[in-house]
Amino acid sequence: MRHRQAIALLALVGLFVALYLWLHALGFGGAIKCGASGGCETVQTSPWAVFLGFPVAFYGVVGYLAVLIVTLGSLRPAALAQPGWDRLVLVLSSIGVLFSAYLTYIELFLIHAICRWCVGSAVIITLIWIVSLFSLRSPATRIDPGASQLLRGPPA
Amino acid sequence: MNRFYVMVGVLAVVLGIGVFALLKTGGASAPAAAAGAPPTVVDDSFRGYTLGRENAPVEIAEYLDFECPVCATFATIQMPTITEQLINTGKARWRFRDYPLPIHKYSRFAAHAAQCAGAQGRYFQMQDQLFSHHQWAQTGNDPSSLFRDLAQAAGVDLKAYDACMDAGRYAGRIEYSRQEGDQRVVDGTPTFFANGKKLFNGLRRLPNSDDFKTLVDSIIAHSPRH
């Protein structure tokens, strides 16, 4: 359960990072906040900032939202013992990690500029992927009052 | 478990406020001194950066607008061949003059960025950056931060660049160039002059490197020295 909670919190942070970049790409707000090293505008205005007709950050919003919804769904008492949720998060985060790796490659070798927000997002999705692996490998939490009674032993 | 959902809610609110604040404040914005038309025109006797030999028989003056997509196309597609065939061979010298069109929000600002880079001997590198990363002209977003990135990529010292941009040091020079263009009846960008004579008046397309080669060869062939 702790793993799933950690994933939910990471997905929430990732969602807002992607939301900021998406809203900026849509023209909201001024120039992007990027720190002294710069690079964000170069990346955001490059030809690779749009993928299949949508700003790249839009896919981040959708991806993190999907992970968040699935993880919150998996935290319901009835779902805690079902490992299928962990598999689903692992699949979603694997797609996210691959997409982030592709974007980081483009930043480093084609655009020659690094956007620290994009790096932040790549780190978050990688952490989600790692935690989802742990979540899948750890034994499922069982909500079984009867079994708990047996483990605790008979009442005195 | 309830404590976890409270934590999620609090985090969502904090992050939401954070995103709102980031969007509200934005990053660096175009300094008015560099982005807007200056109150006075300054003739500092500067007549544009040039490429090519001083004694080249033909001088082409180009009035350009950095936000104009046609100027970007010309700079990135035609200029490399023109440089190779005409400028490097000593046949022509190219003079770049600013003509920021009023319909373009950031063209004057871009021209100023190029001039500030030029003050550090990096005009042509900055021009390359502005034209080869021309997506900035399509987004409508404030390009201040991007231009700093481009200046850095062009090898410009950012401290001096920032001071130059904040002061609008070359705003008067750019306005002088624009008014000079008005006097020469520049009616769009890019507009070209060869040895002072306006070119391609009836041409309904962007001139290419072949047009310039034909023109320059023709001027040289008909010049008194030949």
* Per-residue model confidence as pLDDT tens digits over B93-143: 999 999 998 878 899 999 999 999 999 999 999 999 999 998 888 777 788
Residue A146: inside a domain: no
Q: Of A8, A12, A34, which is closest to B145 when you measure between CB atoms? A: A34
Q: What are phi and psi of B224, to 5 degrees?
A: -60, -25
Helix ranges (H only) for chain B are 2-25, 32-35, 69-73, 79-82, 107-118, 123-132, 136-139, 144-153, 158-167, 171-183, 209-222
Which of A13-22, A40-49, B24-33, B150-159 is least confident? B24-33
Task: Tell me which residues of chain A, numbers 86 to 145, contact chain B at a CB-CB cutoff of 8 Å.
Answer: 112-113
Q: What is the pLDDT of residue B64?
A: 95
Q: How many domains does chain A have?
A: 1
Q: Using alpha carbons, select from B109, B131, B118, B126 the residue that is nearest to residue B47.
A: B118
Residue A92: inside a domain: yes
Å between B30 CA and nearest CA of chain A: 9
A27 near B CB under 8 A: yes
Residue A130: inside a domain: yes
Residues of B within an 8 Å Cβ radius of A: 1, 4, 7-8, 11-12, 15-16, 18-19, 22-29, 133, 135-136, 139-146, 148-150, 152-153
Residue A156: inside a domain: no
pLDDT interval class at B69 (50, 70, 90): confident
**Between chains, do B133 and A29 touch, taking CB under 8 Å as contact?**
no
Q: Does domain B43-221 have CATH number 3.40.30.10?
A: yes
Residue A11: inside a domain: yes
Q: What is the pLDDT of residue A72?
A: 93
Residue A151: inside a domain: no
Distance CA B23, CA A116 (A): 16
**Between chains, do B19 and A46 touch, taking CB under 8 Å as contact?**
no
What value, to the nearest 5°, has the Cα angle with vertex A121 and ends A73 and A95?
A: 60
- What's A46's domain CATH number? 1.20.1440.130
**Between chains, do A29 and B24 touch, taking CB under 8 Å as contact?**
yes
Residue A22: inside a domain: yes
How is residue B184 written in tokens? Answer: 């020469």
In terms of CA atoms, which chain A residue is nearest residue B6? A9
pLDDT(A149) > 60: no
Q: What is the pLDDT of residue B194?
A: 93
Written in H, E and C, the secondary structure of chain A is CHHHHHHHHHHHHHHHHHHHHHHHHCCCCCCCCCCCCCCHHHHHCCHHHEECCEEHHHHHHHHHHHHHHHHHHHCCHHHCCCCHHHHHHHHHHHHHHHHHHHHHHHHHHHHCCCCHHHHHHHHHHHHHHHHHHHHHHCCCCCCCHHHHHHHHCCCC
Type of residue found at B117: A
pLDDT(A151) > 70: no
The tens digit of pLDDT for each residue in A74-121 reads 998 888 888 889 999 999 999 999 999 999 998 888 777 788 899 999
Q: What is the pLDDT of residue B189?
A: 87
Q: What is the pLDDT of residue A97?
A: 96
**Between chains, do B145 and A32 touch, taking CB under 8 Å as contact?**
yes
Average pLDDT of chain B, as a whole number: 88
Candidates B149, B156, B165: best to mutate against A (most CBs of A within 10 A) is B149
The ranges assigned to domains in chain B are 43-221
Work out the burial of residue B143: count CB atoms within 10 Å of its CB; fewer than 13 is exposed, 13-18 middle, 19 or more buried.
buried
Measured between beta carbons, the chain A residues lying within 8 angstroms of B140 are 27
How is residue B85 written in tokens? Answer: 């065939």
pLDDT(B28) > 60: no
What value, to the nearest 5°, has the Cα angle with vertex B108 and ends B106 and B113?
A: 90
Distance CA A126, CA A98 (A): 9
Cβ B21 vs Cβ B67: under 8 Å: no
Å between A38 CA and nearest CA of chain B: 6
pLDDT(B38) > 70: no
Q: What is the pLDDT of residue B119?
A: 94
Average pLDDT of chain A, as a whole number: 83
Type of residue found at B99: Y
Measured between beta carbons, the chain B residues lying within 8 angstroms of A46 are 133, 135
In terms of CA atoms, which chain B residue is nearest residue A18? B19
Residues of the domain holding A83? 2-27+35-139
Residue A95: inside a domain: yes
Å between A8 CA and nearest CA of chain B: 8
Task: Tell me which residues of chain A, numbers 135 to 154, contact chain B at a CB-CB cutoff of 8 Å.
Answer: none
How is residue B1 written in tokens? Answer: 């478990």
